[in-house]
Structure 1
């Protein structure tokens, strides 16, 4: 745990008692603050009480006694409307911050030179965060990984000069971190997402840019226009990384080879199953740029790349049956993510569908030629069938178990060298599953059960 000592002796309100909220409450208490916590879910309030955290209905609290509101990142700050605690905090004239801000203040107070790598972007954050942490760990560094990727930042060990924190940050977390100033800030890409929480694409991009503005060194993927624009106006030290975009001032990737500013090959990711596809080539190049900045050798980076196991539900190879490869990309909850997966394969038996996102799968039409057959599940089946009509052979399967068996059967009859059964739904999971993790876990189990 990292005790949050910057509110020692003061009283703070906290709303949101999920995993990060509990960790934040305990961190604040360990640092000497008095915490009054609240959640809309009575069960969450009860769990907090069991952990020794004081709880109360903040609607009736005396807000003049609070020094700050610590808000969980999932709670609306501005859009579609501020949460009621936000209105109360603003009326009381107190700051509204999140757990990452507490970490940043603790780092600034106790170990301002501690290495801190912060990663954001619309897609690829978790893979890149895990890859950077893996390379550093393989190089013998003391690494703490967390944030949006799973482990709450204040549950990690405290910052120190010989310990590297590698932290994934969502736009929600950045929005609650006014003093964000990492040693290395990474921006992977920006495509439309979470506009219900940020109002406009411009607001969303501006929040992402804040991570870069405060960084001692910025590493920016320049394959999309918003990120290129941010890179062009950035005034500090910068490494640009491009796959589709060649940039003489940064790293570029062609045919799975990462090349430096002088065109020299510095890494080859061809054949690494956990880093398939051009998007993962970019992730690898960005990880190499970060590793270089932290004095990791080329040989150490290469060893880290080749031993990287990948992450569950993100282009995860979950099995083979003869020539047929089964890939779990359940994390692809929008068409932009699925585009990355389709680009990585040919002769794809594509399982897709679920709770549809705005725009559907129309943007994927240029890749339909890679699809041997599509297997539709969930609420999006009718809409997706209309998009695929006359372009891709498809079957309405309804459920994932039917789709997996039908796809496996057809792929086994393919003449292709390596037919692929790909779960990349381009949809949210909530119509039939608890989460994208639940969807991916069920797919993995179905593949293992195939005969």
Structure 2
């Protein structure tokens, strides 16, 4: 754990006792702060007490004596309406922060030569894959790299820092809007599409929150910007005009005169006036699709200035195993592959998988987001048949019917997998793919997307095992 000593002697309120809240409370307490920890949910309070925290009901607290409020990132401090703790903090001019800000102050308090390297990643899509890929590259190249933030462990739960540590942090807009002091040696901004509008008010507010990742950078720091969309192109131009740091544009689809890009599946770096081929991403076992090529370009750009051998970086990229539930390859039955993309909880996320494969037997549905799958109408050319599950099935059926895409309402995931397997095996298609990319939240049938993906994995594995057993019998005979 990173012990937060910057708040020693201060009284800090911590509201929201999930993963990051409990860790923040422990870190602050160990560092000498007086911590007032609370949650409105009894189950969360019970879990926190079982984890060793002493609770203080903030409803009856003397807010005039509180120096800062650590508010869980998932709880609104402004839009659509401020939480009651945020309202109390504002009435008493108390700063509202998150665990990332505590972490940032701990780094700033160290002498420059003793500070760790900070690589921070944000964007609407691809954050987790890029973050994990960067961590994998660094560890593969012999560096001490730890991954945290909005993925895996809370940032204050990471191991204590030293000058050789590399912290690779996925940062959400919710975290960034409450972070003021973080200096990222490499700041990665992958892309920006509409999301979390209710929380930020509009796209301008959402963009402003994401842009905070570049705050506090200095002239020797790196800003990596995805330019495959118009907003990224404008951002790169804006940062170049400020001329306050080194800007590296990245693209997963087109050549760049300067930057890191993917051309016909090959990753090239053109940073120091010469173009160097790094690796052939078509050989990467876990980076299917143009969006993942952009993630690979971002990862290379983020680490290329750390003194690593480009050839070793390329080898590490190709050996990356990928993330569960993110276009995760589960295995094959004959020529049929099973792909778990349960993390695709909206149409924009599902778009990437639909673009990455052909001859798709698509499992979709659940609790639809605004617009459903209507935005995917132009992405369905590779879909041979769709299998619809959950409450969104009737609405999705209407869209598919208009697009003349074969489909059936399967209802539940198990039936969808069995039907898709039967149809794919009998199709005669080249390398068909059974793709779970629901374009929906999971809450009608599963507690979260992870459990939905785990269920898909279990169903697929049972079929794979059955075929393997039959094959073994045939060889034995």
Common topology (TM > 0.5): yes
Assess if the C-alpha contact under 8 Å between 1:222 and 1:245 holds in 2: no
**Matching residue of 1:250:** 259
CA distance in 2, matches of 1:33, 1:252: 47
Matches within 5 A, 1:219-234: 219-234=224-239
Match of 2:432 among 395, 419, 442: 419
CA distance in 1, matches of 2:369, 2:254: 28
**Matching residue of 1:83:** 83
- 1:243 Cα deviation (Å)? 2.5
Assess if the C-alpha contact under 8 Å between 1:36 and 1:53 holds in 2: no
Assess if the C-alpha contact under 8 Å between 2:354 and 2:379 holds in 1: yes
**Matching residue of 2:157:** 155
Assess if the C-alpha contact under 8 Å between 1:174 and 1:180 holds in 2: no
- 1:245 Cα deviation (Å)? 4.8
Matches within 5 A, 1:175-194: 175-194=177-196
**Matching residue of 2:171:** 169
Q: SS where residue 397 of structure 1 aligns?
A: strand
TM-score relative to the length of structure 1:
0.98
Instruction: Say if 1:3 and 1:367 are closer, same or farther in 2 by CA, change over 3 A.
Output: same
- 1:367 Cα deviation (Å)? 1.9
- 1:47 Cα deviation (Å)? 2.5
Match of 1:362 among 374, 378, 384: 374
- 1:291 Cα deviation (Å)? 1.9
Assess if the C-alpha contact under 8 Å between 2:187 and 2:302 holds in 1: no
**Matching residue of 1:59:** 59
Unmatched 5+ stretches in structure 2: 467-477
CA distance in 2, matches of 1:50, 1:405: 43
Instruction: Say if 1:333 and 1:71 are closer, same or farther in 2 by CA, change over 3 A.
Output: same
CA distance in 1, matches of 2:53, 2:111: 28
**Matching residue of 2:398:** 386
Assess if the C-alpha contact under 8 Å between 1:36 and 1:55 holds in 2: yes
CA distance in 2, matches of 1:311, 1:211: 24
Assess if the C-alpha contact under 8 Å between 1:318 and 1:326 holds in 2: yes
**Matching residue of 1:408:** 421
**Matching residue of 2:140:** 138
Instruction: Say if 1:85 and 1:245 are closer, same or farther in 2 by CA, change over 3 A.
Output: farther
Match of 1:282 among 294, 302, 305: 294
**Matching residue of 2:285:** 273
CA distance in 2, matches of 1:70, 1:140: 35
1:184-208 deviation digits (Å, cap 9, x = unpaired) = 1000100011112111011001111
Matched residue count: 451
Q: SS where residue 380 of structure 2 aligns?
A: helix
CA distance in 2, matches of 1:196, 1:64: 30
Q: Which moved more, 1:354-363 or 1:398-407?
A: 354-363
- 1:52 Cα deviation (Å)? 3.5
Match of 2:359 among 347, 359, 362: 347
CA distance in 2, matches of 1:226, 1:77: 26
**Matching residue of 1:96:** 96
- 1:111 Cα deviation (Å)? 5.0
CA distance in 1, matches of 2:408, 2:146: 45
1:255-303 deviation digits (Å, cap 9, x = unpaired) = 2111222443222111222001001111111111122121211121122
- 1:218 Cα deviation (Å)? 0.5
TM-score relative to the length of structure 2:
0.92
Assess if the C-alpha contact under 8 Å between 2:278 and 2:311 holds in 1: no
Alignment RMSD (CA, Å): 1.2
Assess if the C-alpha contact under 8 Å between 2:288 and 2:327 holds in 1: yes
